[in-house]
Structure 1
Amino acid sequence: MTRYIQHAAAFCVLLLVALLVNTAWLQVLQAPSYGVNPANRRPTIARYEQPRGDILVGGRAVTGSRDTGEQLRYERIYTDGPLYAPVTGFASQRYGTAFLEHSEDELLSGTDPMLAGFPLWNGFTRVQSPGGDVVTTLNPAAQRAAFDGLGTRKGAVVAIEPTTGRILALVSTPSYDPAELSGNGPAVAAAWARLNDDPEKPMLNRAVRQTYPPGSTFKVITAAAALDAGVVRDLDARTDSPDPYRLPGSTARLVNEGEGCRDASLRFAFEWSCNTVFAKLGVDVGAAGMEAAARSFGFDDPTLRIPFSVVPSTFDAPEDRAQRALSSIGQYNTRATPLQMAMVAAAVANGGQVRSPYLVERTTRSGGSTVSAAGSRPARQVMRPTTAVRLRELMTDVVEEGTGRNAAIPDATVGGKTGTAQHGIGNQGTPYAWFISWAQGDDDMDPRVAVAVVVEDASARRGDISGGGTAAPIAKAVMEAVLHSPRAG
C-alpha cells in the first residue's frame, strides 16, 4: 500500500513540475510573442485603463483625458487643439501617436521605468505607474501671435531663444484638431480619411517636416562664408559684381529686382538683397567653403531631433559654378525647414554660436517631481565672432533702412533678412515669402528671440509678394510677444 502511495506522490510531483515548467515557458519565453499578437487585446486595454499624462505650455495643460466608460476607457482631449497640433501631435486609439505624443509616449502612458519607485517590483507585479507630464519650452503668447499672424494662409513660424536653443513657438497652418482622431469609432476613421485627403495637408508639420527654397534668407550664410574666408573684408567696399551677372559657363543671366546692385558693397547688397552680388560671392568662396558654411549652420544633418525628428535641410554646392551661384542665393537645390532658418538667425544673434533647439524643458511624475530636465545644450561655433558682429550690423540695417522695415519694434534692436523664393515649373508658382530675424530689447543683455517665417500662399499679386511685406509683420508680432513676456527660468 505504501508503495502505491509513493508512486502516486511521485506522479503528483511530476505533474506539478510539468505545470511549473509549462507556466514558466508561457510566462517567460512565450510572453513576448503573445504580447505582440494582434489578437491579444490586453495590452491595448491596459494602455487606456488610466488617464494619460499631460503636455503643458506656460504651466497650463493643453491636453487631458476623458473617461468614456468603454473597454478602452480613457480617450485623449485637447485644449486649443489646432494651435498646438504641430507640437502635441495626436494620441489615437486607432492610429497611434505623433510628435510629442509619440516621442514622449512611454512617459505619458506611464510605462516608462523612470516613473516607478521600484522598477523591478513594478515589472514583476505588472503594476503601471500613473502617466507623467511633459513641460514644454513654448511661450504661449508667441505661439498665439504666430498662429493668428498666419491666419488662413499656408505657412509656418518657428521662434527660438538664441542663448539656450529653447523653442518658443512652433506653428504650422493650416492645422487640425487632434481630438478628432482620439477615439476608435467610425467618426475617427472618417476624420482620418478627410484629413489625409485634404489637398491643403493640414496634418503636415510645415515647421519641421517640410523644406522650401529659402531664397534670399540664405544670403546670411553666403555672407558669413565670404567674411570668414576673407573674400570680403570691408562691408562698404565695392565688389566686382556686374549687373546682370552672366552665370559662369552659361548663357543665362541673373538680374535683380531693384537698382544699384552693380559692383555694390556687401552692406548695400545685403540691405537691398542683390542677387548678382551674392551669386558671385558663392562662386568666389568655392564649393568646399560654401558647403562647410552651410553644414556648420545645420544643413544636411539627419540626426536633429527636438525630440521628434526633423527633416534635414539640404545644400547642394556643385562644382558647376552656375549651379553653385544659384544655390548661394537660396535657389537651385537648396532647401530648408523654417526651424533651420530660425537656427541661422539665432546663430547670428548669439555671437556666431548655435545651440541645438529643443522643445521639452523637463518631464515630471504625476505628483510633480522631476524625472528629467533638458539642461544646457552644447554650443557649436558656426562662424567667427567678428563675422557674427558684422552680420548683426547688416541685419539691423535691413530693418532700419532696407527691405525689412515692417519688422521694426520700438525700444528694441531688430535684425532681419527678407526672402522671396521662386519655385514651380519655370518659377511660375506663387513665390514663397520668407523673413528671418532676431530681437533684443533695450533693457536686455542679449537677444531674446530669433524667428523664421515662411508663407506659401501670400495673398497679394505675384509681383508684390515679398518677405518684407508678407512675412515680416508676422515675425514682428512674435518677437513683440516674447519681448513683452517675462524671461523663463
Structure 2
Amino acid sequence: MTRHIRHAAVFCALLLVALLVNAARIQVLEARAHDGNAANRRATIARYGQPRGDILVDGRPVTGSRDTGEQLRYERTYADGPLYAPVTGFASQEYGTTLLEHAEDGVLSGTDPMPAPFRLWNEFTRSHTPGGDVETTLNGAAQKAAYDGLDGRKGAVAAIEPSSGRILALVSSPSYDPAALSGNDAEVARSWDRLNGDADKPMLNRAVRQTYPPGSTFKVVTTAAALDAGVVTDLDEPTDSPAPYRLPGTTTTLTNESDGCADLSLREAFKWSCNTVFAKLGVDVGITDMAATAQAFGFNDTALRIPFSVARSTFDTTVDRAQLALSSIGQYNTRATPLQMAMVAAAVANGGQVREPYLVERRTRAGGATVDMAGARPVRQAMQPATAARLKELMTQVVTEGTGTNAAIPGATVGGKTGTAQHGLLNSGTPYAWFVSWAQGDDDLEAKVAVAVVVEDASVARGDITGGGVAAPIARAVMKAVLTS
C-alpha cells in the first residue's frame, strides 16, 4: 500500500511539474505571440482603460479624455477640433492615430518606456504608466488668425520662427472635427465614410502633405541662386531679358502679366514679378547651381519630419533649358508644400540659414515632470549672408511699393513675395494664390515670424486672383498675431 501511495504521489508531482512547465511556456516563451494575437483584447482594453495624455498649445490642453463607462473606457475629446486638426490628427478606437496623436502616441498613451519613472517595476507587474503630455510650439493667436483668414476656402498656412525653426501655425482648410472619429460606434463609421468621401478632402493636411506649384514665390530661390552664382552683381543694372522671352530650343514664348518687363533690373523685376526676367535668369544660372540652391532650401528632401512626415517638395534636376526656364518661375515640375515655402522666407529673414522646423517643444510625465525638450535644430546655409541681406531688401520693397502692399503692418518691417501659380490641363484650373513673407517689429532685433499662405479656390473672378490680393491679407493677420502676442 505504501508503495502505491508513493507512486501516486510521484505521479501527481510529475503532473504538477508538467503543469508549471506548460504555464511557464505559455506565459514566458509564448507571451509575445499571445499579446499580439488579434483575439486578445487585453492590450486594447488596457490602452483605453485610462485617460490619454494631452497635446498643449500655449500651455493649455487642446485635447482631453471622456469616461464612457464602457469596456473601452476613455474616448479622445478635442477643444477647437477643426482649428488644431492639422496638428493633432485624430486618436480613434476604430481607425488608429494620425499626425501628432500618432507620432507621440507612446508618450500620450503611456506605452513609451521613456516617461515611466519605475520602468522595471511596471514590466514586472505589467502595470500601465499614465499618459504624458506633449507641449507644442504653436502660437494659439497665430493659429486662429490663419484659420479665420482662410475662412473655409481650400488652402493652407504655415508659419515659422526663423531663428529657431519653431512652427508657430499650421492650418489646413477645409478642416474637420477629430472627435467625430474617437469612439467605435456606428456613428463613427458613418463619419469616417463621409470624411473620406468628401471631394474637398478635409482630412488632407494641405500645409505639409500637399504640394503645389509655387509660382512666382519661387523667384526668391531663383534670385538667391543668381546672386550667389554672380550672374547678377548689381540689383539696379538692366538685365538682358527680352519680353516676350522665347524658351530655349522651342518656338514657345513666355509673357508677363504687365508691360515694361523687357531688360528690367532685378530690383524692379522682383518688385513687379516679371516672368521673363526670372525664366532667363534661371537658364543663365544653369541647372547645377539652381538645383544646389533649391536643395539647400529643402527641396528634394525626403527625410523631413516635424515629428510626423512632410511631403517632399520637388525641383526637377533632369530638365532641359526650356523646362529649366519654367521651373525657375515655379512652374513645370517645381512643387512645394506651404511649410517648405515658409522655410524659404525664414531663410531670407535669418541671414541665409535654414533651421529645421519642429512642432514639439517638450514632453512631460503625467505629473508635469519634463521628460525631454527640443534642443538646437540642425542648420544649413541656403545662401550667402550678403545675398540674404539683398533679398530682404527686395522683399521689403515688394510690400512697401510693389505687389504685396496688403501685407504691410504699421510698426514693423515686412518683406514678402506674391505668386499666382497656374495648374491643370492647359492651365484650366483656378490659379493658386500664394504669398510668402516675414516680419520684424521695429523694437525687435530679429525677424519673429515667416509665413507661407496658399489659397486654392479664391472666391473672386479668375482675372482678379493674385497672391497680393487673396493671400497677403491672411499672412498679414498671422504675422500681426505673432508680433503682438
Aligned counterpart, 2:353: 353
Q: 1:115 is paired with a residue of what secondary structure?
A: coil
For 1:396-475, list aligned pairs within 5 A: 396-475=396-475
Q: Which amino acid aligns with 1:116?
A: A
Q: Which runs of 5+ in 2 are unaligned?
A: none
Cα distance in 1 between the residues matched to 2:340 and 2:72: 40
Cα distance in 2 between the residues matched to 1:399 and 1:10: 94
Aligned counterpart, 2:245: 245
Cα distance in 2 between the residues matched to 1:188 and 1:142: 31
Aligned counterpart, 2:179: 179
What are the Cα deviations for residues 92-114 of structure 1, in whole angstroms up to 9, with x where unaligned?
Answer: 11011110100001111111111
How far is the alpha carbon of 1:16 from its aligned partner?
Answer: 3.0
1:133 aligns with 2:133: yes
Q: Which amino acid aligns with 1:108?
A: L
How far is the alpha carbon of 1:31 from its aligned partner?
Answer: 1.7
Aligned counterpart, 1:115: 115
Cα distance in 1 between the residues matched to 2:408 and 2:204: 31
Aligned counterpart, 1:283: 283
Cα distance in 2 between the residues matched to 1:36 and 1:420: 52
Aligned counterpart, 1:212: 212
Equivalent residues, number = 485
Q: 2:413 is paired with a residue of what secondary structure?
A: strand
Cα distance in 1 between the residues matched to 2:445 and 2:473: 25
1:257 aligns with 2:237: no
RMSD, matched Cα = 1.0
How far is the alpha carbon of 1:29 from its aligned partner?
Answer: 2.3
For 1:475-486, list aligned pairs within 5 A: 475-485=475-485
Cα distance in 1 between the residues matched to 2:65 and 2:354: 38
Q: Which amino acid aligns with 1:405?
A: T
Q: 1:343 is paired with a residue of what secondary structure?
A: helix
Q: 2:313 is paired with a residue of what secondary structure?
A: coil
How far is the alpha carbon of 1:3 from its aligned partner?
Answer: 4.4
Name which of structure 1's ranges 79-88 and 311-320 shifts more when overlaid on structure 2: 311-320
Aligned counterpart, 1:148: 148
Q: 1:278 is paired with a residue of what secondary structure?
A: helix
How far is the alpha carbon of 1:116 from its aligned partner?
Answer: 1.5
Cα distance in 2 between the residues matched to 1:279 and 1:140: 39
TM-score with structure 1 length normalisation? 0.98
For 1:64-83, list aligned pairs within 5 A: 64-83=64-83
Aligned counterpart, 1:233: 233
Cα distance in 2 between the residues matched to 1:275 and 1:140: 37
How far is the alpha carbon of 1:2 from its aligned partner?
Answer: 5.2
Give percent identity, aligned residues only: 76
TM-score with structure 2 length normalisation? 0.99
Q: Which amino acid aligns with 1:132?
A: G
How far is the alpha carbon of 1:482 from its aligned partner?
Answer: 0.1
Q: 1:77 is paired with a residue of what secondary structure?
A: strand
Cα distance in 1 between the residues matched to 2:378 and 2:257: 40
1:384 aligns with 2:365: no
Q: 2:417 is paired with a residue of what secondary structure?
A: strand
Cα distance in 1 between the residues matched to 2:245 and 2:429: 24
Q: 2:261 is paired with a residue of what secondary structure?
A: coil
Q: 1:162 is paired with a residue of what secondary structure?
A: coil
- Does structure 2 retain, via aligned residues, the 8 Å contact 1:146–1:478? yes
Cα distance in 2 between the residues matched to 1:278 and 1:45: 60
How far is the alpha carbon of 1:4 from its aligned partner?
Answer: 4.1
Cα distance in 1 between the residues matched to 2:50 and 2:349: 45
1:339 aligns with 2:339: yes
How far is the alpha carbon of 1:30 from its aligned partner?
Answer: 1.7
Q: Which amino acid aligns with 1:30?
A: E
Name which of structure 1's ranges 273-282 and 9-18 shifts more when overlaid on structure 2: 9-18
Q: Which amino acid aligns with 1:283?
A: V
Q: Which amino acid aligns with 1:414?
A: V
- Does structure 2 retain, via aligned residues, the 8 Å contact 1:55–1:62? yes
Q: Which runs of 5+ in 1 are unaligned?
A: none
Cα distance in 1 between the residues matched to 2:163 and 2:4: 84
Q: Which amino acid aligns with 1:390?
A: R
Cα distance in 2 between the residues matched to 1:155 and 1:264: 33
Cα distance in 2 between the residues matched to 1:106 and 1:483: 35
What are the Cα deviations for residues 114-149 of structure 1, in whole angstroms up to 9, with x where unaligned?
Answer: 121121111111110110001000000000000000
Name which of structure 1's ranges 289-298 and 30-39 shifts more when overlaid on structure 2: 30-39
- Does structure 2 retain, via aligned residues, the 8 Å contact 1:111–1:129? yes
Q: Which amino acid aligns with 2:110?
A: G
Aligned counterpart, 1:274: 274
Aligned counterpart, 1:322: 322
What are the Cα deviations for residues 7-34 of structure 1, in whole angstroms up to 9, with x where unaligned?
Answer: 3443333223322221222122222222
